[in-house]
Amino acid sequence: MWLYEKRLQYPVNIKTPNAKMAQFIMSQYGGPDGEIGASMRYLSQRYAMPYKECKALLTDIGTEELAHMEIVAAIIHQLTRDLTLEEIESSGFGPYYIDHATGIWPQAAGGIPFNACEFQSKGDTITDLFEDMAAEQKARSTYDNILRVVKDPDVCDPIRYLREREIVHFQRFGEAARIVQDHLDSKDFYAFNPAFDPTPAVLPAIDQSGNGQPAVPKAAVNAADGADGGMDCCCGCSAGK
């Protein structure tokens, strides 16, 4: 359950409409590396995550991605409000306008609609976390591309903020991968899937040294205090202090 606050996580105050710019930024709403896919990815993956610290992280970052989706939608809305028909036609915004007027609809910059095939929830702890790290880097790259073509400082400001958060999320997922590896057999992280297979106590991982003996997993790290994993802010960084 979420509590909604009627404010953006980061302010958006765009003074000059620009439909062409809106088409570029739209990709981070419903494109292949956009905020809708990110939120659905993390909020879906958390159910199969066996470690509560990592489950809390997926919940927190997935929730923050919903806030980022709202920021991107606000940017698109402010860039397309009060457009004249001449501006719509001259900017190439006409095809979108015919289907949606100036409503917000999830698609990539090239016009491809959002679809769930653009993200995965594999049910494998390591696989999912490495997908998450890659997803954050792809989103960061997309924001870099946007910043190369967008010159309006009112637009660049929130875009830079979103880009910075992708970097923080990448770092947090890397820390989560380290937590997972600390729970597993250090000689073979892939001996079993902790989200699905029986634990090594029931189905021991085989020592890859060749002696045929069950491998002993490293001791699990102590869980942080609190049900939310002891995180300071919505992504687990120290920004909330």
The model's pLDDT over 103-132, given as tens digits with 9 standing for 90+, comes to 999 999 999 999 999 999 999 999 999 999
| Res 197: pLDDT | 80
pTM, whole model, 2 decimals?
Answer: 0.80
Q: How far is CA 160 from CA 119, 174, 225, in A?
A: 24, 22, 33
pLDDT for 187 equals: 73
Residue 68 annotated as part of some ligand binding site: yes
Q: Is 183 annotated as a binding residue?
A: no
228 in a known ligand binding site: no
Provide the residue ranges of all domains of the chain, joining segments of one domain with +.
Answer: 19-240
pLDDT at position 10 is 98
From 1.20.1260.10, 2.70.98.40, 3.40.50.2300, 3.30.70.890, which CATH number describes the 19-240 domain? 1.20.1260.10
Could you tell me the two tokens for 16?
């000059």
Per-residue model confidence as pLDDT tens digits over 19-41: 999 999 999 999 999 999 999 99
At 190 the pLDDT is 76
**End-to-end Cα distance, the chain:** 24
Consult the annotation and say whether 136 binds a ligand. yes
